[in-house]
């Protein structure tokens, strides 16, 4: 079953390399969505995929977050968003 998540990650030194790492994880688990840096420097991930693939993706995100200087991390499960057809990194 297709599910949808939103995730927020706040911490220090979360540059473009971290956005690319999130995209690499998304591609690994066949996740569609978007990742971008908010004006306050935190990162937002919006993604959809099969429930089991999303669970693997979110587990990897959490493991990755635990290995960095992350101050805040959350995942919120939501209704699927049909507008997500691939995975993009958006830079300002």
Other C-beta atoms within 10 Å of 9: how many? 25
Does pTM top 0.85 for this prediction? yes
Q: Could you state, in order of their start, the residue ranges of all structural domains in the chain?
A: 2-90
Fold of 2-90: Alpha-Beta Plaits (3.30.70)
- pLDDT of 82 reads 64
Cβ density class 41-69: b for 16+ within 10 Å, e for less: ebbebbbbbeeebbebbbebbeebbeeee
Q: List, for residues 26-76, the tens digit of each pLDDT value.
A: 999 999 999 999 998 899 999 999 999 999 999 999 888 877 778 899 999
Q: Evaluate if residue 92 carries a pLDDT over 70.
A: no
């Amino acid at each position: 079953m297709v599910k949808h998540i939103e995730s927020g990650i706040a911490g220090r030194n979360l540059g473009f390399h971290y956005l690319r790492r999130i995209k690499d994880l998304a591609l690994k688990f066949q996740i569609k969505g978007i990742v971008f840096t908010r004006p306050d420097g935190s990162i937002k991930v919006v993604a959809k995929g099969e429930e089991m693939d999303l669970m693997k993706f979110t587990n990897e995100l959490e493991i990755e977050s635990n290995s960095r200087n992350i101050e805040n991390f959350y995942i919120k499960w939501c209704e699927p968003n049909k507008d997500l057809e691939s995975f993009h990194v958006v830079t300002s």
